[in-house]
């Protein structure tokens, strides 16, 4: 069981908080698509013919592409990989791209899950973020997508931002509930170095992010989603029963995946590799039949630290039998001992088989995981 991720490195506008790899110049779009198609062929043995259960178009903004281009990429995957009969095929999309005609074409091309970058249903939030869409487009694209037949929809929302009041945050989340959106990905606004947001905060054009506000929004969110029947299955992800993201869940379970396109990462169970995050260098290299990737073989300590970091963020938790089997019984015992202070504080629980974060513990997820890290 494996997945394929395709990175489409183009966006209409640069959102002020974003540090992903993308370009707002699209004149070489067709050349890039040719390169990504070719990389899919060059990398066809990476997953050793394992069955592909999930395909994920991310970016950047994949919805910027015509549906025909998505169809061509899917065709290349089907010709060169062993694809399961009904794979989950997700497209990340922005509301301004999702007009009814385009939605229908994407549906017909085989996209069966949309992950839509709504971020907020309020104009003042969207404006400081420099999003390409407005609040009305955010609402209408969701209604149109559902009318056309997309039932598996996720939306991204950002909390803790400078213009987002507690009441507006409540309205954002409850708007998603009212629209019957089965999956939410909600992120605290973070200031990444070098972004426009970082610059504006340094210049005092935007107030600094208030961590207490973000923590309050997170707490409010956890209560609302619980009441509304969503499972908080990963620290930033909430789903109605049966509506988890299969693609992201397979990352969290440590399944192998191939990432194609500039800056895309791949994992084969033992090593990670990542493509150059530069569109021109990527295309040049692929033209010469070489995948421009750096490779890192994971040491046992790296694998363990990664497992702790990821597993503690999920509702399934850290599987003590898995630790014992893959890293040794001594480490399992260390972890049980190390978890005791957190259990006493009320930040962790255990049933003897799994360690899980409590609601309180989720505020400190990364810090708690780091306390268990091993050194090489």
Per CB under 6 A, 141 contacts ligand SF4: no
Residue whose CB is less far from ligand SF4, 11 or 164: 11
Find the binder of ligand SF4 among 2, 6, 8, 11 (CB under 6 A).
11
Q: Are strands 265-267 and 271-275 parallel, antiparallel or unpaired?
A: antiparallel
Per CB under 6 A, 1 contacts ligand SF4: no
Count of residues making up the chain: 376
Do residues 10 and 29 make contact, with C-beta atoms less than 8 angstroms apart? yes
Q: Write out the two tokens for 317.
A: 């938790």
- As a three-state string, the secondary structure of 82-120 is CEEEEEEEEEEECHHHCCHHHHHHHHHHCCCEEEEEEEC
Closest C-alpha among 177, 290, 283, 159 to residue 229: 177
Nearest distance, CB of residue 186 and ligand SF4, angstroms:
14
Nearest distance, CB of residue 334 and ligand SF4, angstroms:
40
Per CB under 6 A, 117 contacts ligand SF4: yes
Cα four-point dihedral sign 18, 134, 117, 168: positive
* x-or-dash string of contact with ligand SF4, 63-102, rule CB under 6 A: -------------------------------x--------
If DSSP codes are grouped into helix, strand and coil, which group holds residue 291? coil
Planar angle of CA 270, 275, 276, nearest 5 degrees = 140
Name the one range near ligand SF4 by CB under 6 A: 15-23, 32-40, 103-111, 246-254: 15-23
If DSSP codes are grouped into helix, strand and coil, which group holds residue 229? coil
Q: Which of residues 221-250 bind ligand SF4 (CB under 6 A)?
A: none
Residue whose CB is less far from ligand SF4, 12 or 216: 12
Name the one range near ligand SF4 by CB under 6 A: 18-26, 35-43, 182-190, 229-237: 18-26
Name the one range near ligand SF4 by CB under 6 A: 11-19, 33-41, 330-338, 363-371: 11-19
Planar angle of CA 307, 320, 247, nearest 5 degrees = 40
Find the binder of ligand SF4 among 59, 160, 182, 361 (CB under 6 A).
59
**H/E run at residue 185:** strand 183-188
Nearest distance, CB of residue 169 and ligand SF4, angstroms:
19
Per CB under 6 A, 60 contacts ligand SF4: yes
**H/E run at residue 295:** strand 293-297
Per CB under 6 A, 22 contacts ligand SF4: yes
Q: What is the DSSP letter of 373?
A: P
Find the binder of ligand SF4 among 2, 8, 15, 157 (CB under 6 A).
15
Q: Which residues bind ligand SF4 (CB under 6 A)?
A: 11, 14-15, 18, 20, 22, 59-61, 94, 117
């Amino acid at each position: 069981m494996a997945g394929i991720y395709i990175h489409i490195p183009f966006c209409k506008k640069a959102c002020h908080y974003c540090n992903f790899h993308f370009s707002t110049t699209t004149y070489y779009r067709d050349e890039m698509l040719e390169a990504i198609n070719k990389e899919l062929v060059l990398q066809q043995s990476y997953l050793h013919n394992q069955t592909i259960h999930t395909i994920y178009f991310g970016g950047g903004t994949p919805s910027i592409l015509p549906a025909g281009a998505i169809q061509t990429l899917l065709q290349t995957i089907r010709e060169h990989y062993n694809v399961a009969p009904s794979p989950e095929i997700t497209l990340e999309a922005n509301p301004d791209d999702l007009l009814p005609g385009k939605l229908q074409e994407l549906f017909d091309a085989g996209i069966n899950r949309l992950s839509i970058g709504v971020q907020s249903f309020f104009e003042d939030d969207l404006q400081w973020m420099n999003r390409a869409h407005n609040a009305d487009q955010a609402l209408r694209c969701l209604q149109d997508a559902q009318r056309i037949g997309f039932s598996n929809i996720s939306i991204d929302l950002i909390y803790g931002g400078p213009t987002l009041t507690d009441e507006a945050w409540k309205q954002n989340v409850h708007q998603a509930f009212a629209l019957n959106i089965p999956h939410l990905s909600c992120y605290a606004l973070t200031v990444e170095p070098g972004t426009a947001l970082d610059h504006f905060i340094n210049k005092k054009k935007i107030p600094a992010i208030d961590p207490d506000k973000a923590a309050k929004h997170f707490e409010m969110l956890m209560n609302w989603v619980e009441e509304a029947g969503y499972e908080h299955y990963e620290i930033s992800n909430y789903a109605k029963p049966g509506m988890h993201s299969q693609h992201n869940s397979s990352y969290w379970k440590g399944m192998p995946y191939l990432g194609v396109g500039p800056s895309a990462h791949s994992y084969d169970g033992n090593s990670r590799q990542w493509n150059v995050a530069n569109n021109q260098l990527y295309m040049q290299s692929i033209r010469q039949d070489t995948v421009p990737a750096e490779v890192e073989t994971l040491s046992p300590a790296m694998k363990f630290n990664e497992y702790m970091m990821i597993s503690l963020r999920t509702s399934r938790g850290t599987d003590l039998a898995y630790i014992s089997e893959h890293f040794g019984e001594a480490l399992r015992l260390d972890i049980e001992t190390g978890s005791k202070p957190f259990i006493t504080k009320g930040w962790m629980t255990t049933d003897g088989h799994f360690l899980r974060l409590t609601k309180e513990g989720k505020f400190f997820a990364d810090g708690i995981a780091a306390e268990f890290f091993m050194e090489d």
